Amino acid sequence: MADTETLIRDIVAAHPGTIEVFEQFGIDYCCHGALSLAEACRLADVDVNLVLERLAEIVTTVPSEEAPHWERASLRQIIGFIIHHHHEYTRRAIQAIRRGLSEVRAEHESAYPELAAVASIFNRLSQETLFHLAKEESGLFPRIEQLEMASRGERPAAAAAPGRAGEHSTIRVMMEDHDAAGAMVAEIRRLTGGYAPPAQAGAAHRRLYRELAEFERDLHRHVHLENNVLFPRALELERKLAEHRAASERLPLVG
């Protein structure tokens, strides 16, 4: 069972159902997964003992086998899930939310001026996110798959050799993108009062806020899977391959 010094990412890895607890308390388990539970609760201004109680309830009532354990999956499987589950959803959701924002603003922007700010932030978020997804799918993800194949002897290690900076710099940029996206959705949440539609809001307005809330919820899971599972494992593979190449180069010639 977790204690106050357990890392957030380790809690989620052991019991994926605990994500619901972190969402409930507004604790960042994706971009700040490397923080201890105590540190994360302090940043979120919540009582760590209360969070521990809720985590214990989840751990004892929800079997961990009911959720996928990504530490046991191959990197190729994780990437496939990210693309087909999160990337495809994100592209669909961006289109739907853009339409919803246009419709609701046309009807109600004079009564709800925050809609203009929400639309401005979401427009920037969507542009940057679509570019980010394309970078992952065309560059980073194929290289991670090559690393995994090399580690299994399915292709020469030299063929998967990274550039001078390896994947560290690329992954760092991806994680910075994640931080920026998280900040933007947090600002949208603030502007919308936690996605709570006004009492007089119509059906389209309420649907828009539900879609924005779901977008943030999926983003958190998406970023967690990359920041705390895929990227660390890819970097560890790269490190081991580099060590193996270095050791091979040091071997004395025979004969």
Residue 255's pLDDT band (cuts 50, 70, 90): very low
Spatial contact of 216 and 192, defined as CB atoms under 8 Å apart? no
Statement: residue 159 has pLDDT above 70: no
- 191 has a pLDDT exceeding 80: yes
Q: What is the pLDDT of residues 126-143, one digit of tens each?
A: 999 999 999 999 999 999
DSSP E strand boundaries for 11-102: none
Residue 83: both structure tokens together: 């693309």
pLDDT above 70 coverage of the chain, percent: 88
Location of structure tokens 């900076």: 165
Cα–Cα nearest to 121, from 198, 204, 181:
181
Per-residue model confidence as pLDDT tens digits over 59-109: 887 665 545 667 788 999 999 999 999 999 999 999 999 999 999 998 887
Which pLDDT score, from 0 to 100, does residue 67 have?
A: 52
- Mean pLDDT, to the nearest integer, of 231-241? 89
- pLDDT above 70 (res 179): yes
Write out pLDDT tens, residues 15-52: 888 898 999 898 988 888 889 999 999 999 999 999 99
pLDDT bracket for residue 244 (50, 70, 90)? confident
Longest CA–CA span in the chain (Å) reads 86
Please name every residue paired with 36 in a beta bridge, in sequence order, or none if there are none. Answer: 7
Calculate mean pLDDT across residues 190-207. Answer: 93
CA distance 25 to 50: 10
Q: Cα separations (Å) of 163 from 143, 170, 242?
A: 11, 11, 11
pLDDT at 168: 81
The pLDDT of residue 78 is: 95
